[in-house]
Amino acid sequence: GENVEQHPSTLSVQEGDSAVIKCTYSDSASNYFPWYKQELGKGPQLIIDIRSNVGEKKDQRIAVTLNKTAKHFSLHITETQPEDSAVYFCAATFSGSARQLTFGSGTQLTVLP
Amino acid sequence: EAQVTQNPRYLITVTGKKLTVTCSQNMNHEYMSWYRQDPGLGLRQIYYSMNVEVTDKGDVPEGYKVSRKEKRNFPLILESPSPNQTSLYFCASSFRGQTEAFFGQGTRLTVV
């Protein structure tokens, strides 16, 4: 089955700096890669996703890049703000899978004022 | 408001006492799943369901049961809870497997 590895497990950045979180996946059939943000005491929420037919997707300060050959994808947050502090999860799945998602182990991002 | 509702939010129980965590969604989603979240391990899938009466094991199904008698409800049953099932549990639903998954608020379970 699919295995997703996520790094780093913790990340601290100064407000205004950029943050990058990286994930690798094992199943070459995977073609959908979402990122979820989990704030304290809440369930994860989708912030951005990418499908394997594109290499990059941006939404304001957030971007995701995908390298299918290397089987890795990354989340980029620019101009970080204190409200970006949260746990971020990457995930992967493939067409026809009934299992929804396989998640990475999570990254605790702390934005220091 | 579109949402996934889990109950209870917090539960402390004793080893061996059967319990059920309920999950209900109001978005008419076909797909539903249960995950457990443990420090350093991320979200691991327990069971999933593609539709009514269709369920299957995820990565960590031992000690859990589920049922999907109605499209909106997907309860998680622990027949004989043990301390290693102490965890934070999330229910999620989605329209299909490759669409946004909506999560409940979580249930923090402690088994003593």
Residues of B whose CB is below 8 A from A49 = 100
**Inter-chain CB proximity B106 and A32 less than 8 Å:** no
User: Residue B13 CA to chain centroid, in angstroms?
Assistant: 17
Q: What is the pLDDT of residues A52-89, one digit of tens each?
A: 888 999 999 999 999 999 999 999 999 999 999 999 99
Residues of A whose CB is below 8 A from B4 = 43
Strand partners, B19: B78
Q: State the pairing for strand pair A10-14/A107-112.
A: parallel
C-alpha A39/C-alpha A61 separation (Å) is 18
B83 phi and psi angles, rounded to 5 deg:
-55, -30
Number of H helices, E strands in chain A: 0, 11
B3 touches B102 (CB < 8 A): yes
- Show the tokens assigned to B27: 């978005």
Q: What is the pLDDT of residues A28-58, one digit of tens each?
A: 889 899 999 999 999 999 999 999 888 999 9
Query: Mind listing the pLDDT tens digit of every residue in chain B (112 residues)?
Result: 889 999 999 999 999 999 999 999 999 999 999 999 999 899 999 999 999 999 999 999 999 999 999 999 999 999 999 999 999 999 999 987 778 899 999 999 999 9
Positive or negative torsion for Cα B20, B12, A38, A10: negative
In this prediction, residue A101 carries a pLDDT of: 87
Selecting from A46, A96, A105 the residue whose C-beta is nearest the C-beta of B41 gives: A105
